[in-house]
Amino acid sequence: MIEKKSEALCFGGRQQVWTHKSEATATDMTFGLYLPPQAEEGPVPVLVFLSGLTCTHENVITKAGAQHYCAEHGIALLAPDTSPRGLDLPGEHDDYDFGSGAGFYLNATQEPWDAHYHMARYVRGELLDAAEMAAPGLDMDRVSITGHSMGGHGALTLALRHPDRFKSVSAFAPICAPSEVPWGEKAFSRYLGEDRKTWRRYDACALIEDGARVPEILVDQGLADNFLDEQLRPERLEEACRDTGITLTVRRQAGYDHSYYFISTFIGDHIRWAAERLKA
Ligand SMILES: N[C@@H](CCC(=O)N[C@@H](CS)C(=O)NCC(=O)O)C(=O)O
């Protein structure tokens, strides 16, 4: 069952919000879906945007200014939530970087998180199925992925793990090596347990070191981002990609911070980059 919660006209297209029941999370899930004007005429490709810590489906659809570029290129934007909602697991709402708003796009194996926190499975499967149900005009053979911070980590790891599913991947200020930084160590040890070997499939650098490949990656990173050195570490991704055949472009943007002001400045480039690959 899927229910439309809202719809508004935006740059000639439709910005919608939908809610549906998810088996992966065993909760209701909400997502934003922007249908560009071209969706009235025929199937359009889809760009998934995964948001960062503390976000819901709403941040990117209200703050990134993406709809203008999606309308220009005839691309739908699919924006899921960042965690299951409506639960009250022990400690779930205590910290901004763990639990609600911080699902880390993985499949938890540790109690009590393993009953609900399956955001990797959700994004890869049910989210795409629900979007297709919401808008049968979407071309689900042409799907790309991008994201911000924790969502950049999600985009990189999902694309590396499912290179046939996603036609391209890019990221804004991604957590490049979560196993090696405080945000990732905290989340992974609680969701996945203390055995660090199990963390590797949710760490972009480890996945590449273990042989996962995508043809190319675009990253934008603000140099005035407070989280750059402690949490994000784009230089680790550059190291991991060296001599692998992956064409990595990291654009270091002087003066930009971690916020949606940074994202809205460069979102047009990421949508165009995805459009070129979705339409190739
Ligand atoms: N300590 C910060 C960290 C959270 C943060 O910066 N979140 C980023 C993603 S990692 C974000 O997109 N926040 C929501 C927004 O700016 O709209 C806070 O709680 O606001």
Alpha helix locations (H) across the chain?
58-63, 66-73, 119-121, 127-134, 150-161, 182-192, 204-209, 234-241, 260-278
- Average of per-residue pLDDT across 21-27: 98
pLDDT in the model for residue 274: 98
User: Domain span at residue 187?
Assistant: 2-278
Report whether pLDDT(226) > 90: yes
Mean pLDDT, all residues of the chain: 98
- Name which residue sits closest to atom 14 of ligand 1, judged by CA: 55
Q: Ligand 1 center to residue 94 CA distance, Å?
A: 15
Report whether pLDDT(138) > 90: yes
> Measured from the CB, is residue 177 less than 6 Å from ligand 1?
no
Q: Ligand 1 center to residue 233 CA distance, Å?
A: 17
Residues 6+ apart with CB under 8 A from 243: none
DSSP 111: T
**Whether residue 258 lies in the annotated active site:** yes
pLDDT in the model for residue 17: 98
What's at 59, amino acid-wise? Answer: N
Tell which residue, 35, 41, 39, 31, has the closest CA to residue 2.
Answer: 31
- Index of the ligand 1 atom closest to the CA of residue 150: 10
- Average of per-residue pLDDT across 245-260: 98
Report whether pLDDT(216) > 90: yes
> Measured from the CB, is residue 52 less than 6 Å from ligand 1?
yes
pLDDT in the model for residue 280: 80
Specify the pTM: 0.98
Instruction: Give the separation between CA 158 and CA 222, rounded to whole angstroms.
Output: 23
Give the pLDDT band of residue 137 (cuts 50, 70, 90).
confident
> Measured from the CB, is residue 96 less than 6 Å from ligand 1?
yes
Exposure string (b/e) for 163-178, b if CB count within 10 Å is 16 or more?
eebbbbbbbbbbbbbb
**Whether residue 68 lies in the annotated active site:** no
Give me the helix-helix angle, 66-73 and 260-278, nearest 10°.
Answer: 10
pLDDT in the model for residue 266: 99
- Name which residue sits closest to atom 1 of ligand 1, judged by CA: 96
Report whether pLDDT(179) > 90: yes
Residues 26-85 have pLDDT tens digits of 999 999 999 999 999 999 999 999 999 999 999 999 999 999 999 999 999 999 999 999
Instruction: Give the separation between CA 158 and CA 21, rounded to whole angstroms.
Output: 22
Report whether pLDDT(1) > 90: no
pLDDT in the model for residue 177: 98
Exposure string (b/e) for 252-262, b if CB count within 10 Å is 16 or more?
ebeebbbebeb
Beta strands in 36-96 (DSSP E): 44-50, 76-80
Q: How many domains does the structure of the chain reveal? A: 1
Identify the CATH number of the domain in which residue 187 sits: 3.40.50.1820
Residue 245 burial (CB < 10 Å; 0-12/13-18/19+)? exposed
> Measured from the CB, is residue 56 less than 6 Å from ligand 1?
no
Give the long-range contacts of residues 39-44, CB within 8 A, separation 24 or more: 39/13, 39/14, 39/74, 39/76, 39/135, 39/137, 39/138, 40/137, 42/137, 43/137, 43/138, 43/139, 44/74, 44/75, 44/76, 44/137, 44/138, 44/139
- Average of per-residue pLDDT across 164-179: 98
> Measured from the CB, is residue 105 less than 6 Å from ligand 1?
no
- Name which residue sits closest to atom 3 of ligand 1, judged by CA: 53
Give the pLDDT band of residue 109 (cuts 50, 70, 90).
very high
Query: How large a percentage of the chain has pLDDT more than 90?
Result: 98
The residue from 57, 73, 258, 270 that is catalytic is 258
Instruction: Give the separation between CA 17 and CA 37, rounded to whole angstroms.
Output: 17
- Average of per-residue pLDDT across 234-263: 98
- Index of the ligand 1 atom closest to the CA of residue 148: 9
